[in-house]
Structure 1
């Protein structure tokens, strides 16, 4: 009987079986395939940061010192770098109207101003410039009112995901803004819907599909379910999708909206000034589980307020130190004479 020559496939299969059998018989002789894959994943995950990320991190650590000149500094920055600076400023509790307006870019598609001091005026201006925005987080913004939400919905026609609520003040704004999301009739003179022209129907947030509202009340939930059935409130991502649809990453409650913007930047950048990332408690996130006691809630609220005011306290301390040095300088007769002579010389040469 004639023997067949082994093909290339049979040889490779035999070598693979031999390698696996030798690994099973002697685990210390070589690493398994899964071990090699996991070590390769660790090497990729632990790759050194890029030069751009390092530069943005340095800028973020000294952000409070360059806020006044940020508009001139960031003129040539790409849109994603500007958005990364906004994300760092938000984490460092430095985000306000002046900072975001000095960095705003028309190509932005996400905007996370949660927990910041941004006002309605700034939100309206950013909404006009960034008309391509599709995801916004305005949760825990004390100075955002229904007027700002209305401007956002009016100018951002592609808005797909909205996050709001998260604290009593923001919950009040959310309840007052429900009318902005639902469609309404502009002209009620017609006797029936068929007689109305399409232009006479205001669609509200017509592109909005995902709404994240952690502490939504029962009445608001029923209103949204009845009058805005297209909007899915607090979606729960699953491998099989949600109602046949895949929940976008922007609608994941356990992920900050701007996490993808700063994924390559070291967290130590926003740890400057005593800020540490907070984990969301189960009672706030809406996840069923342990209920916090009243004392623990007060403690967490105090820590949150203390962390939020830390940069302001540091700034006030620096101002008091400079004021004390200036007063000490002017209290000396010789120093006062030198300062007046210098001022007179400048005015004479001018």
Structure 2
């Protein structure tokens, strides 16, 4: 009797264990759930900022730049700290609770000032466009802490129509709703203040199907009072890109390494020509920052002289004497003697003479 009861209990346990192993919902090869997070430092007076998502550091990023995209455990509220290095230690300036949804990318826009920092959370659309889709979406954030004012935006396709695609106003530290536009290579955005003064213009840029950029307006720093007060950051999942009109690409921004000081911006004056083979430029000490257009009506053409009749061969002897060549105020004397009196000899004498330009 005891043996029968023991055998029955053993078989029951075996069935239970076997049943657990055959659960169709279990897949040991399935990928772990994951979410993604990144941030941009748009805090006007801040040095490099460190962001920690729970116990995970997601970057140490200077002003105007994005951190890399970091994978994190999704669906959990995490204590997130924003800090900077002071006396070789992290000085916390803000703490907030953040959750990242599964299979989603959350971008944190750090804006405001060190004394009054704010964070804009943006969930980015990672879904793939359909084969027939010809549109894309974009969102625009006003992260200009020094400006600290509402920005009016006019969005239009410069080649399609003079009628704006959209007109909207974005308060400081805010981001627009999702805007859907037709894919185009000539989308343009103009930002103005309440008085109608132009703060920033993107010029034409590409808005491709499915790219879905976030455009972040941040403060501009520079030595010139004529410099635009804003600059734009064009961010996608694939990276961050410059707009066509950003003219301060030659500047160098250096972070002050003294731990108890904020950043100091240093700029070196330089100039760059879009077509250096036609127009070369230099920046002197008093040069003002800006973009300038030079119209070239006609390129200089060197003067060419030739004899009225040809020669039978390059060894034909022409004669001796002194060949005088004048170019403006420059005169060059080329001596032709018996050793170089042929066509080839005269050509070599001209090309090897110290004449500067003649060949």
Higher helix share: 1
TM-score by length of 2: 0.20
Higher RCO, Cα 8 Å, sep 6+:
1
Higher strand share: 2
TM-score by length of 1: 0.20
